[in-house]
Chain A
């Protein structure tokens, strides 16, 4: 993964782990290379936050839950097998979520953070193990649910340009990984 892709990943992580409008403004400004027009503090970001919460946080029933388990369980629920798969992968990489047990390990923001760590690790060492782990996480996990998530978020009633921006970058990042993976296939 080139450095630009890695930076993108960190920006997307920050977006999906955002707690409030300022966090969204910061993440989106970074995603657009500093070119986002509305100043942080403007109502634009309040509206972004309202949409973000309707889609991903609550308190309303989530329009696009940002949790792998919501897509990979037979019946949508959280803390399912996909959550534990994510947790096991983190553990194998020597990582753990500081909020384990309270925030499901397969929250999109957490997974993007793990992707950053795992991909860096895989490329930084000439060894099979970290590459195999990253490859598994990407192929069997991230690519198995994030496209569904993006689709669901795009079809949702709530929406905002800031969310579209992040979803677009997320999709591009995923495409990039897919192409790269396909390129590697003999």
Chain B
């Protein structure tokens, strides 16, 4: 072609061959030799014209705090992600994602992503200046060095991090802190600790069967769990179990999507789960339906438990406490005991109470006394960490020589698999993550001067938000590492942009299913985003530049190599692979350990299932799974703040696709409760309690009980809504044993509301 017209150019946009011809012509004509561009540079001839028709595919894994931890296949063309789908090789994910996973491109390519390191002139002012990585790290390092000189240690530096990204290399944030010296760590989890401890007292570990074996169950009780929203891939196993004849019972204070799909739904009085389980247990005992053989061979303390049931528990009492009619309790108890196998899935919401751990123990006991522990298709399912045997290479870093620390015991989180130090008595200072606000304010000698936040949005997720704002005010420096401008970034001095799952190498396991996925870097990080371990390396370089020997984190790292360093023979053997490279062909499933307690060897001191746990008693609780009363109401209505369908804690809700369906928060109110307060659907209402208040729109529904109101935990991009204005930091009963700090009674909150 010698004459080029506009239509030819149009055609060239879709045709690489035409573009190539055009470029050849231009080169021949010498046109491209000198151009007055200030930014663009001469390109390589024919650059970028390679992927005619095809896609490059990459393996990713959704790293959010979710049961499903989906294997993802990412399709890339021209260096841009075109679409994602669930990994077809995983029988759990089975080629599908959830509403959040399918929205990942809206996250990756949202115009709202944090792009550059920036510094705010006055926290909360909204006055941000762009700075280079070098400037950001210099400011941070100078502050850290100044603190160390002032305090003689790095204890004034605190880190809060939890589940925003569960990719294993992201434990490099903890590693970065260790490499700086002994620091202050927010330890514990708001998620599941009471239940973890309960299962440890009963069985010696938190361990559940492969969810895929739920198809073998003849009876399934979904107790305080909403997989139709929060574990969509498990639903197919529940349906399959029903197809094969199982009955599905759902117990929840709220008529959830899962409840609507169950064969029978019980709207239980919130936090009376223990009473209900014990009432069922008593009836099973009375009817002679206990699996005596199993109990005799595999358990200790059953006689004492039976004695407790006979003297302290009746079905009528359980009915009164739980609100479930006695005849339904007895009928379902009999059906459950008769089914073989029968299983209960214990949700995390039901243990977020002052009696949460005790309730989980009561439910465990119900499963155990019917001989359903250690059985395919059975079990008291809660979660597991069987597939998490990584090296934690990024996490395990040594303090600099001569570092001074805290003299006293330090707590460890449930994901902290490092061995206890056998060296000097120095340790990190650990503060309860569930009382972050109070602990940051109260810490002295030295006070917490600087806070580093990563993989977490404390101002949306931590409790007593008003107090947390006060705690932030006390900080001399707040650094937040994130992808979007949320309520925590709003209160930061410096924000650092972090990579998405598509922009980093890591590896992911689930706390529910038994699949393992690698996460390949599929595209270049957008803008100036760095992964958490790259940030650690860059900080280390700067620290040592300014003060040699002040940080031990390697300054030059290859993120792919660091991903590979997380693997070991144990992991390879468990998954039947010779190398992590095998995971490039798709996720792999653990070959063993998928039947919890199948050999009857429990991890308890007695090696048996412990209906009576002396360890539990030593820790200050009842030895038996006795009833523990719920928290005394401090206001007129119970306030529930569970998960939304459109987000994972505070993530995803800000994306445009989610906003289309879920544009604003609501408080859900039973029509009777609303009527008594002259509140109509759509009214603006003021929800108030001793902790704070929330101004919000009312939505009337009898899905919630008359004595409770509900609002989903969430962070909206264009709405100041924050349910943590109403949630105090009262502890759950258990959690300190295995998670480092007690859980938090998220659903033991109370409030009242008036028309605004």
Docked-complex contact A59 and B495, CB < 8 angstroms: yes
Docked-complex contact B43 and A50, CB < 8 angstroms: no
A10 to B36 Cα, complex, angstroms: 9
Q: Is A174 an interface residue (CB 8 A)?
A: no
Q: Which residues of B contact A120 (CB under 8 A)?
A: 35-36
Interface residues of A in 47-94 (CB under 8 A from B): 49-50, 53-54, 57-62, 65, 67, 70, 75-80, 83-85, 87-88, 90-94
Q: Which residues of A contact B81 (CB under 8 A)?
A: 79
Set B42, B108, B523: member contacting A96, Cβ < 8 A: B42
Kindly report which residue of chain B lies nearest to residue A65, judged by CB atoms: B111
A88 to B79 Cα, complex, angstroms: 13
Q: Is B22 an interface residue (CB 8 A)?
A: yes
Q: Is B4 an interface residue (CB 8 A)?
A: yes
A153 to B527 Cα, complex, angstroms: 21
Docked-complex contact A132 and B47, CB < 8 angstroms: no
Task: Name the residue among B6, B80, B111, B118 with the largest chain A CB count within 10 angstroms.
Answer: B111
A135 to B40 Cα, complex, angstroms: 19
Kindly report which residue of chain A lies nearest to residue B128, judged by CB atoms: A53
Q: How far is the CB of B679 from chain A (nearest CB, A)?
A: 32
Set A60, A77, A91: member contacting B19, Cβ < 8 A: A91
Kindly report which residue of chain A lies nearest to residue B111, judged by CB atoms: A65
Q: Which residues of B contact A83 (CB under 8 A)?
A: 80
Docked-complex contact A13 and B38, CB < 8 angstroms: yes
Interface residues of B in 23-44 (CB under 8 A from A): 23, 25-27, 29, 31-32, 35-44
With A50-B127, A59-B485: A94-B31 Cβ-Cβ less than 8 Å: yes
Docked-complex contact B128 and A60, CB < 8 angstroms: yes
Q: Is A101 an interface residue (CB 8 A)?
A: yes
Docked-complex contact B43 and A10, CB < 8 angstroms: no
Q: Is B130 an interface residue (CB 8 A)?
A: yes
Docked-complex contact A117 and B35, CB < 8 angstroms: yes
Docked-complex contact A113 and B29, CB < 8 angstroms: no
Q: Is A34 an interface residue (CB 8 A)?
A: no
Q: Which residues of A contact B27 (CB under 8 A)?
A: 94
Set B37, B79, B110, B484: member contacting A77, Cβ < 8 A: B110
Docked-complex contact B39 and A110, CB < 8 angstroms: yes
A60 to B486 Cα, complex, angstroms: 8
Docked-complex contact A85 and B13, CB < 8 angstroms: yes
Q: Is B417 an interface residue (CB 8 A)?
A: no
Docked-complex contact B130 and A95, CB < 8 angstroms: no
Q: Which residues of B contact A46 (CB under 8 A)?
A: 121, 127, 129
Q: Is A121 an interface residue (CB 8 A)?
A: yes
Q: Which residues of A contact B106 (CB under 8 A)?
A: 75, 77
Interface residues on A, range: 35 or more
Docked-complex contact B22 and A129, CB < 8 angstroms: yes
With A76-B656, A87-B48: A58-B118 Cβ-Cβ less than 8 Å: yes
Q: Is A25 an interface residue (CB 8 A)?
A: no
Docked-complex contact A90 and B4, CB < 8 angstroms: no
Docked-complex contact B130 and A53, CB < 8 angstroms: yes
With A92-B12, A100-B79, A101-B524: A133-B129 Cβ-Cβ less than 8 Å: no
Q: How far is the CB of B610 from chain A (nearest CB, A)?
A: 51
With A67-B111, A92-B19: A117-B40 Cβ-Cβ less than 8 Å: yes
With A92-B19, A136-B9: A61-B656 Cβ-Cβ less than 8 Å: no
Q: Is A97 an interface residue (CB 8 A)?
A: yes
With A10-B38, A49-B129: A96-B656 Cβ-Cβ less than 8 Å: no
Docked-complex contact A129 and B79, CB < 8 angstroms: no
Kindly report which residue of chain B lies nearest to residue A18, judged by CB atoms: B130
Docked-complex contact A130 and B9, CB < 8 angstroms: no
Q: Is B126 an interface residue (CB 8 A)?
A: yes
Docked-complex contact B32 and A93, CB < 8 angstroms: yes
Q: How far is the CB of A5 from chain B (nearest CB, A)?
A: 13
Docked-complex contact A113 and B40, CB < 8 angstroms: yes
Docked-complex contact A101 and B32, CB < 8 angstroms: no
With A102-B525, A129-B4: A94-B42 Cβ-Cβ less than 8 Å: yes
With A125-B29, A136-B9: A17-B79 Cβ-Cβ less than 8 Å: no
Q: Is the interface of A mostly helix, strand, loop or mixed?
A: helix
Q: Is the interface of B mostly helix, strand, loop or mixed?
A: loop
Kindly report which residue of chain B lies nearest to residue A52, judged by CB atoms: B130
Docked-complex contact A79 and B9, CB < 8 angstroms: no
Docked-complex contact B126 and A50, CB < 8 angstroms: yes
A32 to B22 Cα, complex, angstroms: 39
Kindly report which residue of chain A lies nearest to residue B490, judged by CB atoms: A60
Docked-complex contact B111 and A127, CB < 8 angstroms: no
Per-residue contact bits, chain B 37-67, to A (CB 8 Å; 1 contact, 0 not)? 1111111110111000000000000000000
User: Please, how many residues of chain B have a CB less than 8 angstroms from a CB on the other chain?
Assistant: 71
Kindly report which residue of chain B lies nearest to residue A94, judged by CB atoms: B32
Docked-complex contact A21 and B112, CB < 8 angstroms: no
Docked-complex contact B130 and A19, CB < 8 angstroms: yes
A60 to B131 Cα, complex, angstroms: 15
Docked-complex contact A96 and B26, CB < 8 angstroms: no
Kindly report which residue of chain B lies nearest to residue A118, judged by CB atoms: B35
With A91-B47, A132-B5, A140-B10: A97-B22 Cβ-Cβ less than 8 Å: no
Docked-complex contact B717 and A61, CB < 8 angstroms: yes
Q: Which residues of B contact A117 (CB under 8 A)?
A: 35-37, 40
Q: Is A154 an interface residue (CB 8 A)?
A: no
Docked-complex contact A95 and B78, CB < 8 angstroms: no
Q: Is B232 an interface residue (CB 8 A)?
A: no
Set A57, A95, A98, A102: member contacting B526, Cβ < 8 A: A102
Set A17, A90, A129: member contacting B43, Cβ < 8 A: A90
Docked-complex contact B80 and A110, CB < 8 angstroms: no
Kindly report which residue of chain A lies nearest to residue B503, judged by CB atoms: A102
Kindly report which residue of chain B lies nearest to residue A61, judged by CB atoms: B112
Q: Which residues of A contact B48 (CB under 8 A)?
A: 87-88, 91, 96, 100
Docked-complex contact A110 and B40, CB < 8 angstroms: yes
Q: Is A165 an interface residue (CB 8 A)?
A: no
Interface residues of B in 344-389 (CB under 8 A from A): none
A130 to B485 Cα, complex, angstroms: 42
Docked-complex contact A59 and B19, CB < 8 angstroms: no
Task: Name the residue among A58, A90, A95, A113 with the largest chain B CB count within 10 angstroms.
Answer: A58
Docked-complex contact A114 and B40, CB < 8 angstroms: yes
Docked-complex contact A97 and B109, CB < 8 angstroms: no
With A77-B105, A77-B109: A94-B43 Cβ-Cβ less than 8 Å: yes
Q: Which residues of A contact B36 (CB under 8 A)?
A: 6, 10, 116-117, 120
Docked-complex contact A14 and B13, CB < 8 angstroms: no
Q: How far is the CB of A23 from chain B (nearest CB, A)?
A: 10
Q: Is B489 an interface residue (CB 8 A)?
A: yes
Docked-complex contact A70 and B111, CB < 8 angstroms: yes
Set B12, B44, B115: member contacting A57, Cβ < 8 A: B115
Interface residues of B in 75-129 (CB under 8 A from A): 78-81, 105-106, 108-116, 118, 121, 126-129
Q: Which residues of A contact B49 (CB under 8 A)?
A: 91
A90 to B527 Cα, complex, angstroms: 19
A10 to B113 Cα, complex, angstroms: 27
Task: Name the residue among A20, A94, A128 with the largest chain B CB count within 10 angstroms.
Answer: A94
Set B38, B114, B525: member contacting A59, Cβ < 8 A: B114
Set A6, A92, A135: member contacting B26, Cβ < 8 A: A92
Q: How far is the CB of A80 from chain B (nearest CB, A)?
A: 7
Docked-complex contact B656 and A75, CB < 8 angstroms: yes
Kindly report which residue of chain B lies nearest to residue A122, judged by CB atoms: B31
Docked-complex contact B42 and A95, CB < 8 angstroms: yes
Docked-complex contact A101 and B523, CB < 8 angstroms: yes
Q: How far is the CB of A77 from chain B (nearest CB, A)?
A: 4
Q: Is A144 an interface residue (CB 8 A)?
A: no
List 3 A-B pairs, minimum CB-CB distance, nearest first: A94-B32, A96-B43, A101-B524
* Besides the known contacts A49-B130, A61-B654, 9 further A-B residue pairs in the complex with CB atoms under 8 A apart: A78-B111, A84-B78, A90-B43, A92-B23, A95-B43, A98-B40, A113-B39, A116-B38, A135-B6
Q: Which residues of B come within 8 Å of A, CB atoms?
A: 3-6, 8-10, 12-13, 19, 22-23, 25-27, 29, 31-32, 35-45, 47-49, 78-81, 105-106, 108-116, 118, 121, 126-131, 484-485, 489, 495, 497, 523-528, 654, 656-657, 717-718
> Can you pick out 13 interface pairs between chain A and chain B where the beta carbons lie within 8 Å of each other?
A53-B118, A58-B118, A59-B114, A78-B110, A88-B48, A90-B40, A95-B41, A97-B39, A102-B525, A127-B29, A128-B4, A136-B9, A140-B10
